[in-house]
Amino acid sequence: MLGAGLSSNALAQVVVLPSFEPEYIVSVEKQNGRYLLLYNTVQRNLHSSFRDEKAEKAVLHTRRAEISPELATALARLWNRAIQQVRYPEPLVSMRSDGVSFVFMAFQAGVGERAGETWSPAAGSTMALLTGIVTDLKEVALAPQNKELQQRLLHYADLLDKQLQVP
């Protein structure tokens, strides 16, 4: 449901799955020569809606914002670099319960779609910085006229991309 209307080969995409808040997807896509930021969400957490027989049917809300080619390219590069470094985690001793899962996906010509996941990253870690960019992208979708935020995101994406580069 959350992926309705989104491209299967987005430049960069992330599915955000909080434990107790509505899930959402942020997707960076190129459509008809324009770069778009798409934000899909529902009014209440889908997981809890499925368990509650009396719950209203989930309604999808979509917001879109045009973004610069530079920001779209920087985000695609950052997503691909982060996904490139995905490794299998150490076996978990305890089960995860509360928190937020972030599933990052990117399409790259000649490679196809790749994905990686992080769960409630530690504050100050590179993955926490990446998830912070996701939060800001959501704000861009909600306030597309905020060009200053888009410029700041471009700067942060470039900085984090450099930080993720393997020496």
pLDDT in tens, 96-127: 678 999 999 998 888 889 999 999 999 999 99
DSSP letter (8 states) at residue 68: -
User: With bands split at pLDDT 50, 70 and 90, how would you rate the model's confidence at 76?
Assistant: very high
* Amino acid 56: pLDDT: 67
In the chain, domain spans = 12-89+97-164
pLDDT in tens, 114-163: 999 999 999 999 999 999 999 999 999 999 999 999 999 999 999 999 99
- pTM for this structure? 0.87
C-alpha dihedral (143, 146, 152, 156), degrees to nearest 10: 20
DSSP letter (8 states) at residue 138: H
